[in-house]
Structure 1
């Protein structure tokens, strides 16, 4: 009886093993399919979670970024205010200085008026200006002159003084209807009554066709220093007084040379001065032709 039982047990064990193998294979295949499906499902889920998280955090990031931009704007404005405050301080100081000098000028003007009344002083005639442009510079060996685009039609006449913003340039010697010619102070025919500011001493500024005219007819006891300013004296009624002419650049052995304030090589616009003075004699036409003799 034991043999039939053993055979049946063995048969059952064999059947169980075969069944187990089949189900195991199916389970493994199902697990593999499940993992594949779950992998795809997880990727989509992760993507959805990521998008949802970004959407949720975006307002927070925006709120955090706005204070940063606001702080940057505030810092920039503070820096600008600091610069403006410094500039305002400088401008206030400069304004205070200008007010001081204005008060000094008004005080001196009042004092000057009182002194003029005491001396019965007759003021110089008022100056009128005619603006003109240099259109030609026909300087030759013996004549240094310039041609202006204004003539008698603009009120220019012979004997008027030509100046720039730097000082004296020369005087008008020939006038046409729409043009005029000025003789430069460096020309050999130019003789201008001047006065030294520091000495003060009268003299004649004599042109010699060089860039630095000579100061002549100084008093023997006069000591002219280098750097001293020279202005027109107004004597003889030819030039208004006080027009800046130049400064002394050399004073060796009585040969005093002046450097004009006006750069003759760089003149574009000129102001012709009408002062009401009439101290000029008519210019000899031979002067403009290069003849050095009157």
Structure 2
């Protein structure tokens, strides 16, 4: 215990002396470094030239550490920029999808406006509310009905071709039976041959053609239009093109059944029909007398011959 106490009594003053000397040396160094004197400036330059280059090896870890910190900060900035670019890309994809949908709707509406129809046919456009198609019945609902003047039996078209006919009208909605429905039967004309046929729906995308007089004159790609027979549809409405599938002539419909969004209902009125027989209009009386005078007298039969 006494020895330990003697060491502490010896080291305590020595430690204080060393600290005091270091403090004085540091203060002297600072004062010397701040003195503005040519001799001191030469001394500082000589010291820097002598000792500073030899400390490069000591600064390497510090330099590497500072480079790592700066690289990590750059990586953090790049990560934030990447996340921001990802969010902007998602927004751009959403805007692109919206733009594509608007473009498709615009193209369909423009196509409806560019369809060449009989000038006497007027139309009203409606939006498809729902697709009630099933394996046994194919139809859609429109957001227009009797309040819009829709009449049962009118033809409907999209921007490309004939879609179907109105079959059921409510006050604000109406049902359209598609040409592919099994209950659909429409008379058509094949061009350029001019043959007439019946296109029958069979719940398939390609309705068949029935009652053809000369099937050998029909070629794939011939246009199919409505004939107007029976007053079912107005004449000249584009239906599709002839195709051959499984050895039978069918029709590839021009209407885009995959995306039915807007339909145009054609206001077609039946042709005026004459009922009854009208009275004959006789010529003027003076003309009748002159014609009778101009006619020769009819020969009279002899009594013998008439009696015989």
TM-score (norm 2): 0.48
Counterpart residue number, 2:162: 168
**Alignment map for 1:195-234 (pairs within 5 Å):** 195-220=189-214, 222-234=216-228
Residue 162 of structure 1: SS of its match in structure 2? strand
- Is contact 2:155–2:165 with CA below 8 Å preserved after alignment? yes
CA-to-aligned-CA distance 1:220-275 (integer Å, 9 cap, x gap): 4652101111000111111101100010121664x211110012121100000011
1:144 aligns with 2:138: yes
CA–CA distance in structure 1, aligned partners of residues 216 and 234 of structure 2: 23
1:247 aligns with 2:234: no
TM-score (norm 1): 0.51
Counterpart residue number, 1:284: none
Shift in Å, 1:278 = 7.3
Counterpart residue number, 1:89: none
**Match 1:184 to one of 173, 178, 182:** 178
- Is contact 1:132–1:149 with CA below 8 Å preserved after alignment? yes
CA-to-aligned-CA distance 1:112-169 (integer Å, 9 cap, x gap): xxxxxxxxxxxx7811101100000011111000000000001111000001110100
**Pairs aligned (count):** 161
Counterpart residue number, 2:268: 275
CA-to-aligned-CA distance 1:16-73 (integer Å, 9 cap, x gap): xxxxxxxxxxxxxxxxxxxxxxxxxxxxxxxxxxxxxxxxxxxxxxxxxxxxxxxxxx
Counterpart residue number, 2:147: 153
Unaligned ranges ≥5, structure 1: 1-123, 280-294
1:222 to 1:276, Cα distance in 2 relative to 1, 3 A: farther
Aligned alpha-carbon RMSD (Å): 2.5
Unaligned ranges ≥5, structure 2: 1-117, 273-308
1:199 to 1:251, Cα distance in 2 relative to 1, 3 A: farther
- Is contact 2:156–2:265 with CA below 8 Å preserved after alignment? yes
CA–CA distance in structure 1, aligned partners of residues 135 and 174 of structure 2: 20
1:218 to 1:191, Cα distance in 2 relative to 1, 3 A: same
Shift in Å, 1:190 = 0.3
Residue 236 of structure 1: SS of its match in structure 2? helix
- Is contact 1:127–1:274 with CA below 8 Å preserved after alignment? yes
Counterpart residue number, 1:256: 249
Which ranges of 4 or more aligned residues in structure 1 deviate by more than 6 Å?
A: none
